[in-house]
Amino acid sequence: MNSLPKNRGVQCLAALLLIAIAGFGPAAHGGPLRDRLQQRALLEQPLDDEADSSRSQPAPGLPAGTRVLRDLAYGPDGSQRLDVYLPAHAQAAPVLFLVHGGGWRRGDKTHDRLIDHKLAHWLPQGVAVVSVNYRMLPQARPDLQAQDVAQALAWAQQQAAAWGADARRFVLMGHSAGAHLAALVAGDPQWLRAAGARAPQALVLLDSGALDVPEIMNGRHARLFDQAFGSDPAYWLRVSPLQQLQAALPPTLLVCSSPRRSSCTQAQAYARKSQAHGGPAEVLPQPLSHGQINAQLGQAGAYTQAVDEFLSRFAAWTLR
């Protein structure tokens, strides 16, 4: 009989130990061990939702009258492509600019958990949606990925009028690794200046994969962070949104997964630093998994309503 792969075996053993601890004795006995195993389980969770194709609801169709422009090139590399979804009769439409996650090494602008419910929710409100791909590991490290995001943002803003959209009304939204890249681009003006991009009107970070890179790398962490950030502390600082935040950000909403305690801790630290520079910043903890934070945005409920309220206050989006 073939044996389980080593990492699967470790995960199974951890899961069995968790079940055993939960099923025997009061919480006071073995509590520290249970906490360590729970933290281990969180470290093993993938920081992307490409690994989970399950849906909480069936995929919605595109609203009638939607115009789709696919695989528009913003750079010479085959990965430097974006898709544009335009609402019917678009005229000076605000733009939701999406940056997918995938652990800096995989993912795609068309992934259902990234776009399905966001399109179904915001297109009927008259909002255009842009979803961007970028070069990934091992071809490009996170600093080059951030450069791609800034370049794509600048290119989309330059094309916006021809699409019936407003270059001054872009909201930058990223999930996981995409949220890390969005925070890096928005928080350090050098990225925007080098690309010729306008600052976004607002920034929405969906359970960022990393906000304080040195803290992650100096602690216990999953291997994907080594693949992304390497071993050079100077590089960690260069691609760490918290350390690179030196001026007021656009209004920022940081959605964090409350089961991933480190996610909310880093989000709160980032919000405090942004506020100290005079930028409005809010943290929205949600009792959802890392992938659910992405997939459920746009579905009816309190979570989507909270994001809509933020956009109406800080991006002047008037939504029906």
Q: Which of 44, 115, 45, 104 is nearest to 294 (CA)?
A: 115
Residue scoring higher pLDDT (119 or 261): 119
* Percent of the chain at pLDDT exceeding 90: 75
pTM of this prediction exceeds 0.75: yes
Interior CA angle at 156 toward 145 and 80, to 5°?
35
Q: Which of 2-16, 54-68, 261-275 shows the lowest per-residue confidence on average (mean pLDDT)? A: 2-16
pLDDT at site 200 = 96
The answer to whether residue 250 scores a pLDDT higher than 60 is: yes
* Percent of the chain at pLDDT exceeding 70: 81
* pLDDT tens for each residue of 180-207: 999 999 998 899 999 999 999 999 999 9
Query: What is the pLDDT of the chain when averaged over all its residues?
Result: 86
Q: What does the DSSP assignment read for 235-255?
A: HHHHT-HHHH--SPPSSEEEE
Whether 205 and 271 have beta carbons less than 8 Å apart is answered as: no
Whether 254 and 208 have beta carbons less than 8 Å apart is answered as: yes
Partner residues linked to 69 by β-bridges: 84
pLDDT at site 247 = 86
pLDDT at site 319 = 65
pLDDT at site 188 = 87
pLDDT at site 7 = 46
Determine the Cα–Cα distance for residues 291 and 299; give it in Å rounded to an integer.
14
pLDDT at site 66 = 95
* pLDDT tens for each residue of 89-139: 999 999 999 999 999 999 999 999 999 999 999 999 999 999 999 999 999
pLDDT at site 27 = 37
The answer to whether residue 279 scores a pLDDT higher than 60 is: yes
- Cis-peptide, bond into residue 46, ω within 30° of zero: no
Pairing of strands 93-99, 202-206: unpaired
The answer to whether residue 62 scores a pLDDT higher than 80 is: yes
Determine the Cα–Cα distance for residues 192 and 140; give it in Å rounded to an integer.
19
* pLDDT tens for each residue of 130-161: 999 999 999 999 999 999 999 999 999 999 99
Whether 142 and 178 have beta carbons less than 8 Å apart is answered as: no
Whether 200 and 171 have beta carbons less than 8 Å apart is answered as: yes
The answer to whether residue 46 scores a pLDDT higher than 60 is: no
